[in-house]
Structure 1
């Protein structure tokens, strides 16, 4: 049996599992996942700061200073050594995301996402709803979002064409919520519009970019994906 046949069989089996009856617990699990990964509870007002305990970025935290305001990565590092330490600094966030997703998946979050998000994501991006959590995670962490996407590829849940579209969606405005409130917050006092409007525009443009890439793949590069 060819590898393509095995992949197709695996995808069919997973699709059948996703289409099983979705209970109320699965929807609760999905709701928690969306709140946790989307940044809803990030940078809450002082009175509601305790909600940060349910936020992905807040729970990841940050490394403390070692000397001179630096971290264990140090300053002025170059080449493979600096690259290794930088990669090491990404491990906690990726491990937290993958571990929590495994727990949420056990309670049916992925099945609920498949059922609820497919009607939204399929017409716009042409990807199944199971990719929804990977896209939501990317709003706070590019590394965790990429790790979840790789998991979907390894399990045969998405095609190569889906992967390219998802990557385009994630690449535009990567880590949107986290970066917006961490970097652009210094300019909030100068904004002429409510703070949420630029954020909403950037979020919508991620879909525009993903849809554009989907159109290009379905026209200019159509032959490259005809066997999927």
Structure 2
């Protein structure tokens, strides 16, 4: 008996109003826009960086190491790595909620016209790229999930890796670690952030060009 052909799911990329709302919520949550809003500090409660925590101020660097006083060790490195687990779990959990409500479908429809000509990527990768702005681990995990589910090709994976590797965790690291240099800036704080954001696209576009020329034969079957 011949096997029955499965009907293609016509609703796979159907986008409802709720999906757009979920995408907007995901962008706001991971974008850092709610981190510091003048006069509305309560909005920071809906920001990923605030919920994940930030580094404190080291008043006595010679004494205030991760373990207390003295140097660092492999043990300290493992302890620091373990301290990242709750933040990554939070990001992945929130992403699963947004994905359930259609955020990736909405991203695919809205961002494909932008990402396809620039990076050659489908719009569904947009949520992973947005997430990378605040959490490198969560962005990488979502990228891996897209690849494992065959929603992106190996070439897409390499281009996304180039975009994420350049200025990884941009907003989080810029305001949490880079803030120590704000007093020495001779330009508005937002300009270096915008420059690094633009350079992420420059790096990814360059990698895409190399893949389409020098390594074109490696991806001819995709």
Same fold by TM (over 0.5)? yes
In 2, Cα distance between equivalents of 1:105 and 1:91: 21
Q: Is structure 2 residue 49 aligned with structure 1 residue 57?
A: yes
- Paired residue for 2:72, among 71, 76, 88? 76
Give the Å deviation of 1:71. 4.7
Instruction: Give the TM-score normalised by the residue count of structure 1.
Output: 0.83
Instruction: Give the TM-score normalised by the residue count of structure 2.
Output: 0.85
In 1, Cα distance between equivalents of 2:64 and 2:215: 49
Query: For residues 83 and 191 of structure 1, do their structure 2 counterparts lie closer, same or farther at Cα, with a shift above 3 Å needed?
Result: closer
In 2, Cα distance between equivalents of 1:44 and 1:185: 17
- The runs of at least 4 consecutive aligned structure 1 residues that moved more than 4 Å come to 70-75
Give the Å deviation of 1:50. 0.8
The structure number with the bigger radius of gyration is: 2
Larger proportion of helix: 1
Instruction: Provide the residue aligned with 1:134 in structure 2.
Output: 128
Query: For residues 148 and 63 of structure 1, do their structure 2 counterparts lie closer, same or farther at Cα, with a shift above 3 Å needed?
Result: same
Q: Please say which of residues 107-116 and 179-188 is displaced more in the overlay.
A: 179-188
Instruction: Provide the residue aligned with 1:38 in structure 2.
Output: 31
Instruction: Provide the residue aligned with 2:218 in structure 1.
Output: 224
Q: Is structure 2 residue 216 aligned with structure 1 residue 206?
A: no
Instruction: Provide the residue aligned with 1:25 in structure 2.
Output: 18
Instruction: Provide the residue aligned with 1:179 in structure 2.
Output: 173
Q: Please say which of residues 85-94 and 186-195 is displaced more in the overlay.
A: 186-195
1:124-166 Cα shifts (integer Å, max 9, x gaps): 1111111111111111111111111111111111111101000
Q: Is structure 2 residue 142 aligned with structure 1 residue 151?
A: no
**Paired residues of 2:91 and 2:135 also in contact (CA < 8 A):** no
Q: Structure 1: any 5+ residue segments left out of the alignment?
A: 1-12
In 2, Cα distance between equivalents of 1:70 and 1:51: 31
**Paired residues of 1:73 and 1:82 also in contact (CA < 8 A):** no
**Paired residues of 2:55 and 2:176 also in contact (CA < 8 A):** no
CA RMSD of aligned residues (A): 2.4
Higher relative contact order (CA 8 A, sep 6+): 1
In 2, Cα distance between equivalents of 1:162 and 1:95: 25
Instruction: Provide the residue aligned with 1:7 in structure 2.
Output: none
Instruction: Provide the residue aligned with 2:4 in structure 1.
Output: none
In 2, Cα distance between equivalents of 1:24 and 1:146: 27
Give the Å deviation of 1:63. 8.4
Give the Å deviation of 1:18. 4.3
